Structure formats: structure tokens, C-alpha cells
């Protein structure tokens, strides 16, 4: 029950963030049939108008219920119309109590905020999709506007989008699926077809790429219902047109296998289908969606709560998930990981200094003994939840690394990370002060 409340709290924060979704303006709304509507939107995060198709369940107009939402993402050189025009999505969802949202992300290097030589977006696709489009959809339609009622799936580049959005925002999605997904951004062939405008040159910006890579953030995917489906690009598949070896499917197959193996290594359960011979084409993605929908609907019906203990990895100086927040002070860019975070305590990995604030896990006005083991040694301090129901702890992760992670200078110096361990022990009730104390 507590986990469910935390997931709802995280979703509420998204909805209540200043200006969440407010910058999106509707330029045009066209009803294509009884279920399908096409919206043309404007946002400062995208150059020019951007489209989105919304597929409503049958009987939506005569019902008052709220429906789960599947964000269905297109691949490279397609657009927001592709899943309905080429993927038969309308027929596949005809009998399902489900809203399907199909946004645009451009023809290549989608689902990320472009670097543009350090100038930033537009396009800022991730900011638009996560901070603007989701709240906009939740306001405009009768959605189940919480984590347990929201999933994301996609094909090829859209499979990448589904997994990176789930990895970066695990408190927003209960499920994620990738069909022939480009889920290892640093695969050499995927690097070769990317544009430097999006993330810069890989050799000079490895941390930028790794921090935008589902494979590198796989530990963040714990507690999400995951599905990976892929062919291997060899000829002879049951849905292949006439043709031979498909290099694109071969590349995404290698990426999918890498993520599958990493999830297995981490002990994160997932649906895995390597169907062997098959090319990079719509007949397979249509079949993948058809196979995946029953599992998604079962997940929606279960109202699965967020995990009790979470792990979250990020290269940002300030990051968080599920109501937890971390602020790091260090000299250079690198990954930091909040691990095993829950009511009993947490671990944090990195360098420099970090301030960790828990989710609102505890009762108000409680006093805790906090055991800290970090670069400064072992100690026990007293902390108070106050009225926030949170604890705040500062830890020492040792000398900060001098150079950005993955650079030649960092490798020559020898990158160092230290793990700090923190445990909580309830002492009893306390008088509520105005703020939580920190050391």
C-alpha cells in the first residue's frame, strides 16, 4: 500500500510541476473516425507543429470510467501516423479498454533532448514527451493518471525510446516493451547512423551517450514489467518479403541480446522473445504488439505498486525517482547510483559529497538513529522526520574524480567510486520541528 502511495505521489509531482503540460497548445484537432483523433500541437520544445494520434477505446464517449494509457512510439523515418497506418493498431486494440497515444519524435535521433553543439534544444523530445505531453493527455482525456495505469512501447528507434523513458522515469511507467529495439545506443553501427547534432561526437561525449543508453541504465528498470522481442535478421522468417539478410535487424538483435543478458545478470525479470529468422519490417512489429497487449492489460488490471526498494543510476548532479532525491557535489561528470533504497536505508555509489533525501516513507514526528559508513568512517547520528515524513542524510564519497568519466584523462588517472552505506533505526516519537535536521 505504501509503494502504491509513493507511485501516486511521484505522478502527482509530475502533474503539479510548475507549468507541467501548460506550454502545449492545440493548433488543430481532427476526428478521423469514431475512435481515432489526430491533434496538431505546438510547444517551445519542438520546432514547428508536432502531431500526435490518440486512439480511444470503444464506448469512451458513453462511459465515465478512466482508462490506462499506452504510449506507442514510432521508429526512424516514420512518424506519429505509422502505428495506425502501417501497424493495424486500431484493429488490434478494438476490444480493449485502453487509450493509445502515438506522438511524433522526428525521423532520427528521437526520444532525447538534442545537444545542438551545447546550445540545447529544440528539439527537446524527452522534455516534451515526459513533462508536457503526459500531463496534457491526462488533463484532456479520462486517463488513469498514475504509474500503475501507464505503459510505453515502441519499435526500433521507438523501442529505444520506450526503454530509455522507462529507465530514466521508472516512477511514471508500470510497463515497457521494445520490438526490434535499438536499446544499446553505443552499438558501433548505431553510432554510425546518428547525427552529431543530437548528442555530439561519441569519442568526445561518451558520458552523454552512456547516460542516454538503456543498456547502461538497466538497473533502473527493476519493478517494471518489461518485454523485449526481436528477430536476428537472417532470411526465411515466416513474415519476410522476398529478400536476404537484413543488417538493421541484425544490429538491433545484438542490442536486444545485450540488454536481455544485462537484465538477467541483474536479476530483473522480463519477457524475452528471440524469434530467429525475421527482418526489420511492419509484419513482425504488428505481431509483436498483438503478443504484448495481453500482458500489458493484465499488468494494468493488477494495479501493481511501485517496488519497496529502488535502485536508480544517473549522471545528473541532482536526480531522483519514486520520491527519493539525490544532490551530488563533485568536480567532473560521472555516474552516481542510489541503490537498495527503502525504509531500512540505502547505499550510494560515486565520488565527492552527496545529500540524500528519502521518499515520504515514514510517519510524521519520528526520531531515527541513522548509521553511516562512508569515506569519513563510521558514525551514528540522530535524525527527525518532522512533518515531511522524510529523512535527510549527507555522506562523504571520498575525493571527487578530476576528469569526466570515460575520457582518456579519467582512464589514465584511474576512475574511483566509493560506496556509502546508510541504515535507519526507529527510536520513537518526537516533537515536530519546522524542518528535518541534517548533519
3-state SS class at 210: helix
Instruction: Tell me what pLDDT residue 8 has.
Output: 45
Instruction: Please determine, for residue 435, whether its predicted confidence score (pLDDT) is greater than 70.
Output: no
The model's confidence at residue 22, banded by pLDDT at 50, 70 and 90, is low
Instruction: Tell me what pLDDT residue 322 has.
Output: 98
Sign of the dihedral defined by the CA atoms of residues 194, 196, 202, 208, in that order: negative
Mean pLDDT of 305-310: 97
Give the model confidence (pLDDT) of 348-380 as tens digits: 999 999 999 999 999 999 999 999 999 999 999
Instruction: Tell me what pLDDT residue 21 has.
Output: 54
Give the model confidence (pLDDT) of 54-67 as tens digits: 999 999 999 999 99
Instruction: Tell me what pLDDT residue 86 has.
Output: 98
The model's confidence at residue 433, banded by pLDDT at 50, 70 and 90, is low
Grid coordinates in use for 56?
480511444
Of the listed ranges 197-206, 247-256, 346-355, 376-385, the one predicted with least confidence: 197-206
Instruction: Tell me what pLDDT residue 20 has.
Output: 53
Tell which residue, 189, 140, 133, has the closest CA to residue 161: 133
Residue 423 contacts residue 344 (beta carbons within 8 Å)? yes
Which tops the pLDDT comparison, 190 or 233? 233
Distance between CA atoms of residues 34 and 12, nearest Å: 31
Task: Classify the phi-psi angles of 236: left when phi > 0, otherwise alpha if psi is within -120 to 50, otherwise beta.
Answer: left
Tell which residue, 181, 232, 405, 253, has the closest CA to residue 314: 405
Instruction: Tell me what pLDDT residue 431 has.
Output: 79
Grid coordinates in use for 341?
533504497
Distance between CA atoms of residues 108 and 112, nearest Å: 10
Give the model confidence (pLDDT) of 224-245 as tens digits: 999 999 999 999 999 987 678 9
Mean pLDDT of 28-47: 98
Instruction: Tell me what pLDDT residue 9 has.
Output: 44
Share of the chain above pLDDT 90, in %: 88
CB atoms within 10 A of CB 270: 16
Mean pLDDT: which of 7-16, 184-193, 412-421 is highest?
412-421
Q: Phi/psi at 15 (nearest 5 deg)?
A: -70, -35
Instruction: Please determine, for residue 103, whether its predicted confidence score (pLDDT) is greater than 60.
Output: yes
Instruction: Please determine, for residue 82, whether its predicted confidence score (pLDDT) is greater than 60.
Output: yes
Distance between CA atoms of residues 384 and 363, nearest Å: 10
For the residues of 166-199, what is the DSSP string, one character each? HHH-TTT-SEEEEES----TT-HHHHHHS-HHHH
The model's confidence at residue 17, banded by pLDDT at 50, 70 and 90, is very low
- The residues with which 318 forms a beta bridge, in sequence order, are 327
Q: Write down the mean pLDDT value for the chain.
A: 93
Q: Which residue has the cell 501516423?
A: 81
Instruction: Please determine, for residue 104, whether its predicted confidence score (pLDDT) is greater than 90.
Output: yes
3-state SS class at 409: helix
2-302, CATH topology level: Rossmann fold (3.40.50)
CB atoms within 10 A of CB 117: 9
Boundaries of every domain in the chain:
2-302, 310-429
Instruction: Please determine, for residue 15, whether its predicted confidence score (pLDDT) is greater than 50.
Output: no
| 287-312 CB burial, b ≥16 within 10 A, e <16 | bbbebbbeebbebbeeebbbbebbbb
Amino acid at each position: 500500500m505504501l509503494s502504491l502511495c509513493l507511485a501516486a505521489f511521484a505522478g502527482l509531482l509530475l502533474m503539479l510541476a510548475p507549468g507541467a503540460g501548460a506550454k502545449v497548445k492545440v493548433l488543430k484537432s481532427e476526428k478521423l473516425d469514431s475512435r481515432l483523433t489526430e491533434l496538431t500541437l505546438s510547444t517551445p520544445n519542438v520546432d514547428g507543429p508536432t502531431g500526435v494520434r490518440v486512439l480511444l477505446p470503444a464506448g469512451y464517449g458513453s462511459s465515465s470510467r478512466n482508462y490506462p494509457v499506452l504510449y506507442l512510439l514510432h521508429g526512424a523515418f516514420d512518424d506519429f501516423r505509422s502505428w495506425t497506418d502501417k501497424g493495424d493498431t486500431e484493429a488490434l486494440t478494438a476490444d480493449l479498454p485502453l487509450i493509445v497515444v502515438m506522438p511524433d519524435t522526428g525521423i532520427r535521433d528521437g526520444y532525447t533532448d538534442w545537444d545542438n553543439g551545447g546550445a540545447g534544444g529544440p528539439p527537446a523530445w524527452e522534455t516534451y514527451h515526459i513533462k508536457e505531453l503526459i500531463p496534457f493527455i491526462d488533463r484532456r482525456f479520462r486517463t488513469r493518471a498514475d504509474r500503475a495505469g501507464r505503459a510505453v512501447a515502441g519499435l526500433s528507434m521507438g523501442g529505444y525510446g520506450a526503454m530509455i523513458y522507462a529507465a530514466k522515469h521508472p516512477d511514471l511507467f508500470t510497463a515497457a516493451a521494445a520490438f526490434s529495439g535499438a536499446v544499446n545506443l553505443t552499438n558501433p553501427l548505431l553510432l554510425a547512423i546518428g547525427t552529431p547534432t543530437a548528442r555530439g561526437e561519441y569519442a568526445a561525449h561518451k558520458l552523454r551517450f552512456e547516460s542516454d543508453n538503456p543498456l547502461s541504465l538497466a538497473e533502473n528498470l527493476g519493478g517494471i514489467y518489461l518485454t523485449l522481442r526481436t528477430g536476428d535478421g537472417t532470411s526465411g522468417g515466416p513474415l519476410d518479403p522476398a529478400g536476404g539478410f537484413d543488417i538493421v535487424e541484425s544490429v538491433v538483435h545484438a542490442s536486444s541480446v545485450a540488454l536481455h543478458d544485462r537484465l538477467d545478470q541483474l536479476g530483473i525479470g522480463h519477457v524475452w522473445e528471440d524469434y530467429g529468422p525475421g527482418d526489420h519490417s511492419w509484419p513482425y512489429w504488428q505481431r509483436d504488439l498483438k503478443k504484448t497487449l495481453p500482458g500489458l492489460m493484465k499488468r494494468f488490471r493488477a494495479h501493481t505498486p511501485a517496488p519497496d526498494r529502488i535502485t536508480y543510476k544517473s549522471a545528473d548532479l541532482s536526480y531522483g525517482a519514486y520520491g527519493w532525491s539525490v544532490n551530488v557535489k563533485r568536480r567532473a561528470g560521472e555516474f552516481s547510483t542510489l541503490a537498495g533504497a527503502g525504509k531500512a536505508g540505502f547505499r550510494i555509489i560515486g565520488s565527492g559529497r552527496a545529500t540524500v533525501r528519502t521518499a515520504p516513507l515514514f510517519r510524521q514526528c519520528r526520531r531515527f538513529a541513522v548509521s553511516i559508513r562512508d569515506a569519513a568512517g563510521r558514525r551514528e547520528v540522530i535524525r527527525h522526520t518532522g512533518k515531511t515524513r522524510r529523512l535527510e542524510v549527507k555522506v562523504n564519497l571520498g575525493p571527487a574524480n578530476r576528469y569526466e568519466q570515460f575520457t582518456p584523462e579519467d582512464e589514465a588517472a584511474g576512475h574511483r567510486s566509493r560506496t556509502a552505506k546508510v541504515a535507519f533505526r526507529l527510536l520513537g516519537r518526537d516533537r515536530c520541528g519546522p524542518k528535518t535536521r541534517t548533519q
